[in-house]
Amino acid sequence: MKRRMETRLSDVGNYIHLSAGRSLGKRVGVMDLSFEAESPLVPPAELLERLPSCDWLLQGDRCQIFFPPSEAPGRPQEQRCWSSFLEHRVPVVTEEVAREALLSFVDSKCCYGSAAAGDLVILELKQQALRRYRLETFSESRISEWTFQPFTNHSVDGPQRGTSPRLWDIKVQVPPMFQEDTRKFQVPHSSLVKECHKCHGHGRYKCSSCHGAGTVRCPSCSGAKRKARPARRCQMCSGSGRQRCSTCSGRGNKTCATCKGEKKLLHFLQLVIVWKNSLFEFVSEHQLDCPGELLAKARGETLFKDENTMVYPIVDFPLREICLASQRGIAEHSATLASRARVLQQRQTIELIPLTEVRYWYRGKTYVYYIYGTDRRVYVVDDPERCCCGCAIL
């Protein structure tokens, strides 16, 4: 087991996408990191032996995942009254409104003519009100990884200064709810200075291009010192057959890129905190032909909003498909996040999305377009005056 623990953990960056975070104030008590370093071959074994035990799990000999503490159950479910929802009416889309929406659309597209929008004859308006259920779960996950930076003779916060806290005991400032972020911190009392594993403590290493000679064979004469055609001394190497190595500038060695010439490295445990907003969406079924991806992004009118540390499935909504979506979304988020993150806040909403199908006649043919969302966006199936330079509709 000890041998497995000594396997390097820093490839956790492949497990989850990490982005640079904002620094915190001094009151947080941990150092915000921005240094990105090459991984050591193994973490310091002597430091591993001196670190306190934590709640962790090895995955494939690489990644340490720290599980969150259990949270108290949320509030009991409340009875909801949907009378206001049942009384809600969708604003009627008239022919004038439909024509104005299309004119606004063609004005924003270089490949669509406005003649059809002005001269079309509207044959039929089919209006439908859709309901979109959306669940957002804002969670926090913490993982640790070994990393290092060049040691510049500064003070070392190692085990001799105290016991490292468990990762979930480290206090940090949480970003605003439902705003994703990633931050990195050095775990207190986890540092140790070791000789650089890349240059073995020399600060420099032999140049791989010239193998320490400082010169390389002349690429023009291939080291022959003279050129066959015409027969004369090689001008590029002045007849020496060698040229100064451009990789090391003729020194024969290079400054170690790992320790930056400092000869030693400061190894430490790095805490990576990821705040993520998981999203589940469902749009009620409809009989019209408007693409679902547009309706998922459409702007709607909020009919219901429930936000708390934990939300309960909606069970008494008049549309059963919304109730089933709520139950499915909450179950999926619970199953996905239960073993790897702590839920900080949940928010579920029900929105009304108006959708209108407009059938119109123009120059002997029938065409269709859709008006969707509270901001009356337009999706044109086939514009009679569209050019062919390839503007995207969606």
Q: What is the mean pLDDT of the chain?
A: 76
List the single range of 41-50, 234-243, 249-258, 290-299 with lowest mean pLDDT: 41-50
- Band (pLDDT 50/70/90 cuts) for residue 52 is very low
Collect all residues with Cβ–Cβ distance below 8 Å to 184 and sequence separation of at least 6. Answer: 18, 21, 32, 33, 34, 270, 271, 272, 273
- Distance from C-alpha of 186 to C-alpha of 171, rounded to nearest angstrom: 12
Q: What pLDDT is stored for residue 288 in this prediction?
A: 82
List the single range of 75-84, 290-299, 330-339 with lowest mean pLDDT: 75-84
Report which of residues 8 and 265 the model is more confident about. Answer: 265
Report which of residues 42 and 270 the model is more confident about. Answer: 270
What percentage of the chain reaches a pLDDT higher than 90? Answer: 26
Neighbour tally for 217: CB within 10 Å = 14
pLDDT in tens, 91-111: 788 888 888 888 888 777 655
Q: Find where tokens 């909504």 sit.
A: 317
- Band (pLDDT 50/70/90 cuts) for residue 281 is very high
Q: Which residues pair with 275 in a beta bridge?
A: 140, 181
Q: What pLDDT is stored for residue 141 in this prediction?
A: 92
Q: How many residues does the chain have?
A: 394
- Band (pLDDT 50/70/90 cuts) for residue 266 is very high
- Distance from C-alpha of 313 to C-alpha of 9, rounded to nearest angstrom: 39
Question: E strands within the chain?
Answer: 31-32, 58-59, 63-66, 121-150, 181-186, 192-195, 204-206, 215-217, 226-227, 232-233, 242-244, 253-255, 264-283, 301-308, 342-362, 365-372, 377-380
Q: What pLDDT is stored for residue 32 in this prediction?
A: 46
- At residue 51, does pLDDT exceed 50? no
Enter the pTM of the model. 0.69
Q: What is the mean pLDDT of the segment spanning 201-230?
A: 79
DSSP 41-79: SS--HHHHHHSPP-S--EETTTEEEEPPPP----PPPPP
- Band (pLDDT 50/70/90 cuts) for residue 347 is very high
Q: Are 196 and 186 in contact (CB under 8 A)?
A: no
Q: What is the mean pLDDT of the segment spanning 31-53?
A: 46
Print burial letters for 272-303: b (CB count within 10 Å at least 16), e (below 16): bbbbbbbebebbbebeeebeeebbeebebeeb
Q: What is the mean pLDDT of the segment spanning 65-83?
A: 58
- At residue 64, does pLDDT exceed 80? no
- Distance from C-alpha of 24 to C-alpha of 268, rounded to nearest angstrom: 19
- At residue 61, does pLDDT exceed 50? no
What percentage of the chain reaches a pLDDT higher than 70? Answer: 70
pLDDT in tens, 372-381: 998 899 988 8
Q: Are 266 and 193 in contact (CB under 8 A)?
A: yes
Please provide the distance, in angstroms rounded to a whole number, between the alpha carbons at the two ends of the chain: 55
Q: Are 216 and 210 in contact (CB under 8 A)?
A: yes
- Map residue 139 onto helix, strand or coil: strand
Q: What pLDDT is stored for residue 103 in this prediction?
A: 84
Q: Find where tokens 């490839």 sit.
A: 11
- At residue 268, does pLDDT exceed 80? yes
pLDDT in tens, 181-191: 999 999 999 89
- At residue 27, does pLDDT exceed 50? no
Q: Is the peptide bond before 69 cis (omega within 30 degrees of 0)?
A: no
Q: What pLDDT is stored for residue 50 in this prediction?
A: 45
Q: Find where tokens 């193994």 sit.
A: 42
Q: How is residue 58 written in tokens?
A: 């090895």
Q: What is the mean pLDDT of the segment spanning 341-370?
A: 90
Q: What pLDDT is stored for residue 37 in this prediction?
A: 40
pLDDT in tens, 165-182: 888 889 999 999 999 999
- Map residue 15 onto helix, strand or coil: coil
- Band (pLDDT 50/70/90 cuts) for residue 19 is very low
Q: What pLDDT is stored for residue 324 in this prediction?
A: 95
- At residue 385, does pLDDT exceed 50? yes
Torsion of CA 52, 53, 59, 63, to 10 degrees: -20
Torsion of CA 28, 29, 32, 35, to 10 degrees: 180
